[in-house]
Amino acid sequence: MIKLATSLFSFAYEWNSGAYTLESTIAKTRELDLGSGLEIIGFQSLKGFPYITEQQVSEVRHLLEKYEFEPVCLDTNVDVGIRRNGILSIDETVDYILPQLDAARRLGFPMIRVQMTAKPEVMRKLVSYAEKANVKLGMELHTPYQVDHPAVLALRELYQEIDSPYLGFIPDMGTCMRNIPDALLTSFKSVGVTDEMIAITKEIWQKNVPMPSKFGELFERVSALGGTPPQIGRLNMAFSMNGRQPIEMWKEVMPQVIHIHGKFYGFDENGDEPSIDYATILKTFHESGYSGYIASEYEGSAFTDKFDAFDQVAKQHQLFKKIISTL
């Protein structure tokens, strides 16, 4: 059966407000019974990451034990553009990830989240380190990286060649959405985007055409309405952040799925997520034999501070439990 977890990414707004410590965040997550697993974002939650002290390691391990959470995933970053004078090379990218991998080992996390900026050559070089650390490398498949994206296909080919249990995928459910979230659309109005421009954006988003074609049509039609480059740039986010991959396509990579990111933006009056079809998603993964964790990942706070993130995650867990009870 699919298990429930929470990613501390969900509480980024609350964390940045300074109102919460790492312990109080984890304590409230337990108080609200938000799953048995916990996902932590290294650079968000741990000062000095990835070069953390033994005191930090002891603290995190203590908190996980005290509040009875299973460590599920440590999210790492692959910031290949961190330098002003160029992109990190393959070896430099490996060196950038290795301390983060070691931090996961020390903290007791069985896997790290890796981003698509880590090329197949990087993953090839990391495998031996992952095996020695006993920490899996979970590549996040986040929009626009559908399972049939050329970069993902290259990675799938590498996975098949190496055939290591330490290489896996972490599907992000923002890749297979049924609508653009209202929170995102409403946020566009802050730069003067009109309802007509939003309607055009929603129409184009539904089309089964390559993303560059969507960008081109949006530019032409919104420019004709007087749309400015900043406004069009914001509207482009609707295409780049919200994928339309058919849910059943996840089956192609299911044998390599080691974790799931339960991205969500909000709920309607019936407690459902209007932009993501979780009933079909959970049924698809369950029937395909997946029995790992799905971690709640609230992203609505990136566009509005109207809702309490803890309350939003609690609502998602209520929805998940309702769906899982029928599987």
Cis before 144? omega within 30: yes
Is 73 within 8 Å of 83 (Cβ atoms)? no
How far is 43 from 255, CA to CA, in rounded Å?
Answer: 29
Retrieve residue 66's tokens. 């005290």
| 142 included as an active-site residue | yes
Amino acid making up residue 53: T
Tokens of 90: 């393959």
Q: Judge whether 39 and 6 are in contact, CB under 8 Å.
A: yes
Whether cis (ω within 30° of 0) applies to the bond prior to 150 is no
Which 3 state secondary structure label does DSSP give 20?
Answer: coil
From CA 130, how far away is CA 87, in angstroms rounded?
24
Structure tokens that stand for 167 in this block: 């290489």
Single out the catalytic residue among 62, 142, 149, 261: 142
Positions marked active-site: 142
